[in-house]
Structure 1
Amino acid sequence: MPVNPIDALSIAQDLLRCPSVTPADAGALGVLERLLQAAGFDVHRVTFSEPGAADIDNLYARIGTSAPHLCFAGHTDVVPPGDVAAWSHGAFAGEVHDSQLYGRGAVDMKGGIACSVAAVLEYLAAHGGQPHDSGQGSISFLITGDEEDVAVNGTVKLLQWAAARGEKFDHCVLGEPSNVEALGDCIKIGRRGSLSGTLIVDGVQGHVAYPHRASNPVPDIAALIVALGNDPLDAGSDTFQPSNLEFTSVDVGNPATNVIPAQARARFNIRFNDQHSAESLQALIEQRVETACGNRIKARIDWLPSNAAAFVTKPGAFTDLVAAAIEQVTGRRPELNTGGGTSDARFITHYCPVIEFGLVGQTMHKIDERTPVADLATLTQIYRGVLERYFA
C-alpha cells in the first residue's frame, strides 16, 4: 500500500504537544497509532498493570510477516518540565525558534521517534508499502509510556507480550539521544548496570555532654564511606569503563544540636560493568563493609531491587551497517560506546541485538530542551539509510 510521507518535524511537534509526563500518555501514542495504521501497520495498544505502580499504555505495530525483522523502539513518556515559567518557549508547545525545536521530549526522545516514523514512512512509500520489493521482511515499532519512571509496566512487559504472540526480532534500533557533541559521533552498543542501596549504621542516642553514655554513628558512617571509596571495584575493560560507587546522600534525621543520633544512613548507587552481576556486587560490598566494621561498628545494607544489568551488543555486521549509514550522511564514523545511564535496551538485549542511536543529548531533562530542526532531517536520513541497507 503506498503511503504519503510526513516529515519528522511535524510528527515531533504533534508528539511534543501531548504533555505525556510519566506515567500519563496524554494522546502521544494515539499520534503514532493513526500514522502507522494509515501506513498499513497492524497496531496494538496494550495496557499493563502492577500493584503499587500506575497502569501504562504501550504500543506495538508491525508491517510484514517474515524475517528479517527490524524493530524501532522508544518511549513517549517524558520527565516533568520543572519551572514552566523558566522556559523560553512553552514546554509542551512544540515551537520552532531560530531553527530549534523546543519542548520537553524534543531530544529524549520524541524527536528520535518522529525521525524513525518519518524514515519508515518514506521508505515504505518508495517500496510499494512493503519492507522489501519482494514482499519479504518486517518493520515494527515497540513504544512504551513507562521508561522515565519505574519501568515495570512498559518495555519489559511489552517484550514478554510480543514473545508470547510469537514475535521474533532480528535487530533493534533504540532512538535514545546517544550522541554527545554532534549527530553521528556515537552509537551506544551497551550500558553499565545500576544497583542502589542504603548503608545503615546503628548507634546509641544520648546527650552530647555525656558521650560515654551514647554511641555516635556519624563518625562510623563517615569512616565506612571513605573505606568503600578507597578501593576500586575493577579496572574496566576494552568495552566498559571502570565500575563506580557514588554516595548520593547522608542523613541522621536529627534536628537537634545537643543530641547524639541513634542512626545514620547513606544512600549510594553503583554503575557496574559486565565483570559483575547485581548479586556478586552485593556480596563484594557487604564483605568490604564487614571488614571495615571490625567488631565495633554495627552496620548493614538495605538493597533496592535491580532490573538493570550490564550488557553489550558485540560489534559486527549490524553495528557496521548502522555506522556506514551514519558516515554516509554525516561524514563521521561513530564511536562505539557503552557510557551513560540505563535505558530500555537492557530489556531488549534479551531478545535481539540492540543499538542506541538518536539525537544529541546535551539538553535532555533540562529547561529549554531543544534540538536543531536540521538534526531531525539528518537523523531521518540516517534511519532511511539503515532501512535501505538492512533490506537490501
Structure 2
Amino acid sequence: MTPAQKIEILQQLIQIPSVNAHEAEVADYLASLFAPYPQAKVERLTYAPGRDNLVVTIGDPTGPLLGLAGHMDVVAPGDETAWHHAPFGGEIVGDQLFGRGASDMKSGLAAITIAMLEALEQHQPLAGGVRLLATVGEETGEYGAAQLTDAGYADHLAGLVIAEPSGLDQVVYTARGVIDYKVVSTGKGVHSASPELGVNAITNLMKFYNAVGPMMAQHTQVDPVLGGLLHNVDLISGGEQVNSIPAHAELMANMRTIPAYPNQMLYDELEGLVAKLNQEPGVDLELTYSFPEEAIPGDPQAPLVQLAKQISDQVCGHDTQIVGSGGANDGAEFLRGKGDFTSIEIGPGSNTSHQPDEYISLAAYLQAIDFYEAFVPAFFQSTVVTH
C-alpha cells in the first residue's frame, strides 16, 4: 500500500461524520477494506440502529491473541465558524490533515487497520491472532467496548493496544477511572409566601452538596503517577420561578478515580450519604450513575509496556516515556474480559483533540503504521504473552 493510499483511507474516515452516532458508516467502510481477504473474519455487533461495533480477526487462531482497539465515534465539531478547515473535509495543508477525529482517534484507528491489511496483503505469517476491536460510543461512555466485552470478544487476549492519541513518544500504562453521577431532589412546590406548606427541593439538594465535598476530601491517598481522587460538582439546576418553592432540583458531578479507591467503595459512600439524608423529614433524594469506569492500575515494567517502548524507540528514534493518563479509555471495559492481560495506549495524535481545526501530522500518522507493523511480529516473537 502506498503512502497516498494510506492517507486516502484516513481522509475517507474523517469524511464520515460519526458524531456520537452513525458509527455503522465507519464500520461499513472498514469492513469493505477487508472484503478482498476471505481469511479475515469480519463480525459486527449492533449497539443501536446505525451504531455497529466491528470486530476483525486475522492470523493463527491457535496462537496468542493480540487486541488492537480504537473507537469510531467523534465529538461534535461545535461552532463550525471557529474552524478554518471543514470539520469533515479531510483537507491536507502541508504535513497536516485537518478534520474532526484526525487526532482523536481516526488516525490511530486507520493506522491499526492498515497494519492488519498490509499483513494480509503481504501474506505475512503470524504466530498468533490479531483482533481489531472498533467500538461505538467511547466519547460518551465506552458502551461499545462494554458490549463487546460482555459478548466475549476480549476474553483471553494476550495483550491489548489501544491506539488513542498518546503520541508515539508515550506509552500509557495506567489511567484514571470515572464516575459521573446525578442526584435528583424531589420536593413540594407551593407559593413562596407559604413555605411551610411545601418542601424546598433546592434546600434538600444542598444538604447533599454540602456533605459530599468534605466526605470525598477525606480520601487523601495520592497515586504517584495519576495523582489524587478528583470530585467536582459541575451542574446544578432547580426551581421554576422566583416566587415559588421549588419542587425539583438536581446536580451532576464528575469523579476521576485512582486505583487506591475502587468505584464500588465510592458507590457505597455516595449511596450511604443519600440514604442517611433521606431519613430526614421531607428529604427525597435519588442517586443515579452514567457509564462509570474503573481506574486501570497497570505496571510500568509489564512486558507489553516495555516492548511498546522498545519498538517505538527503534521506529521513531526517540526516548519513549512510560506515563499515566488522567482520562478514561475503552481499556477499562475490555479488562473485564476473561483472562489476565495488559492494556496500553499508544497512538498518533496532536494537542488539538476536541478543538477546532483538529489535525494530525501525516508524518506521525505514517510512522504510527510503521510502529504497529513492527510491534505485531515482535509481540509474537517475545515473551510478552501473559495469559
TM-score by length of 1: 0.82
Residues of 2 paired with 1:221 and 1:34: CA distance?
52
- CA distance, structure 1, for counterparts of residue 51 and residue 9 of structure 2: 22
CA shift in 2, pair 1:319/1:114, >3 Å:
same
Match of 1:62 in 2: 57
Find out whether 1:74 has 2:70 as its counterpart: yes
Structure 1 residues 297 and 326, CA gap change in structure 2 (3 angstroms): farther
Task: Give the 5 Å matches for 1:278-297.
Answer: 278-288=263-273, 295=280
Task: Provide, for residues 180-231 of structure 1, a one-character-per-residue CA deviation record: whole Å limited to 9, x for no partner.
Answer: xxx41x3222333322322344555444445555554445534542332234
Alignment equivalent of 2:160, drawn from 172, 178, 187: 172
Describe the SS at the equivalent of 1:259: coil
Q: 2:128 aligns with which of 124, 137, 140?
A: 137
State the distance in 2 between where 1:150 and 1:194 align.
9
How far off its partner does 1:173 sit?
A: 0.8
Aligned counterparts of 1:303 and 1:88: Cα–Cα separation in 2: 40
Partner of 1:247: 233
Maintained 8 Å contact 2:142/2:329: no
Amino acid paired to 2:332? R
Per-residue deviation, 1:174: 0.8
Q: Distance in 1 between matches of 2:303 and 2:312?
A: 14
Tell me how far 1:101 sits from its aligned partner. Answer: 0.6
1:247 CA displacement: 0.9
1:265 counterpart residue number: 250
Q: Which residue of 2 aligns with 1:336?
A: 323
Return the match for 1:366 from 355, 369, 373. 355
Counterpart of 2:344, as a letter, is: I
Give the stretch that moved more between structures: 238-247 or 290-299: 290-299
Which of 195-204 and 315-324 deviates more? 195-204
State how many pairs are aligned. Answer: 373
210, 215, 220: which one aligns with 1:226: 210
Distance 2:197 2:37 in 1: 76
Quick one: which amino acid aligns to residue 377 of structure 1?
A: L
Q: Does 1:354 align with 2:343?
A: yes
Deviation of the 1:7 alpha carbon: 5.0
Contact 2:271/2:287 (<8 A) preserved: no
- Cα shift at 1:121: 4.2
2:164 equivalent to 1:158: no
Answer yes or no: is the 8 Å Cα contact 1:200–1:265 preserved in 2. Answer: yes
Residue 380 of structure 1 aligns to a residue whose secondary structure is: helix
Are residues 330 and 4 of structure 1, via their aligned partners in 2, closer, same or farther at CA, if it must alter by over 3 Å? closer
Measured in 2, the distance between the counterparts of 1:349 and 1:171 equals 10
Q: Does 1:11 align with 2:9?
A: yes
Contact 1:25 1:145 in 2 (8 A): yes
Aligned-partner Cα distance in 1 for 2:202–2:329: 36
Root-mean-square deviation (CA, aligned residues, Å) is 3.1
C-alpha contact (below 8 Å) 1:12/1:110 kept by paired residues: yes
Deviation for aligned residue 1:292: 7.4
> Deviation per CA, 1:368-392, whole angstroms, max 9, x where unpaired?
2211222212222322332242233
**Could you tell me whether the CA contact under 8 Å between 2:163 and 2:346 is conserved in 1?**
yes
Q: Which residue of 2 aligns with 1:301?
A: 286
**2:112 alignment counterpart:** 116
Moved more, 232-241 or 319-328: 232-241
Aligned-residue identity in percent: 27
Q: State the match for 1:27 in structure 2.
A: 25
Distance 1:199 1:159 in 2: 29
Structure 2 regions of 5+ residues with no counterpart? 382-387
AA at the equivalent of 1:63: I
1:140-171 CA distances to partner (integer Å, 9 max, x unpaired)?
2121234334554x33333444559xx74211
How many Å separate the matches in 1 of 2:247 and 2:120?
A: 66
- CA distance in 1 between counterparts of 2:262 and 2:85 reads 44
Show CA shifts across 1:117-140 (max 9, x none).
333445566xx51244xxx22222
Letter in 2 for 1:334: Q
User: TM-score when scaled to structure 2?
Assistant: 0.83
Question: Structure 2 CA distance, aligned partners of 1:262 and 1:311?
Answer: 40
CA gap of 1:150–1:159, structure 2 versus 1, over 3 A, is same
1:243-289 residue CA offsets vs partner (Å, 9 max, x unmatched): 222112111132x2222323432221222222334332122124445
**Who is 2:385 aligned against?**
none
**Matched AA of 2:370:** Q
